[in-house]
Structure 1
């Protein structure tokens, strides 16, 4: 690993971190800020799960591209869009 080699040979053997792998408190200190930011969205709400899903849309889009040979550039990626692209439409 120190030289850039792979530790696991495939994703089946890769250890996916779970909540039990997180250090026990007080190693992580979370806090809430009671403030409103009207620039975020119309209601000023803040989400806490966005960072974990940022790459998912790109991964699904790339998987669809590899499966079909068509590059999809808009979301959501629906069956109708896939059928239209495979039929030669956009």
Structure 2
């Protein structure tokens, strides 16, 4: 979580992190985060490009709480009500 502090400390004169330690730390952080998710993402590895990608759902569970409330769609039309009142009575 505070890995950036470790990086700052390593740049300030502490022993630098090896590539193996960097990969192991990053993988541990990703595993910890993915472990807390309800919907597990799909992991895609492109060997030619050397890229790992996570395919996340279109909407995460915490994002649904941030959406605005839906507007009322079934509102009565204002044009039809005055016509009924202006009709002549016999």
Q: Same fold (TM over 0.5)?
A: no
More strand by share: 2
Asked which structure has the greater RCO (Cα within 8 Å, sep 6+), the reply is 2
More helix by share: 2
Instruction: Output the TM-score relative to the length of structure 1.
Output: 0.30
Larger radius of gyration: 2
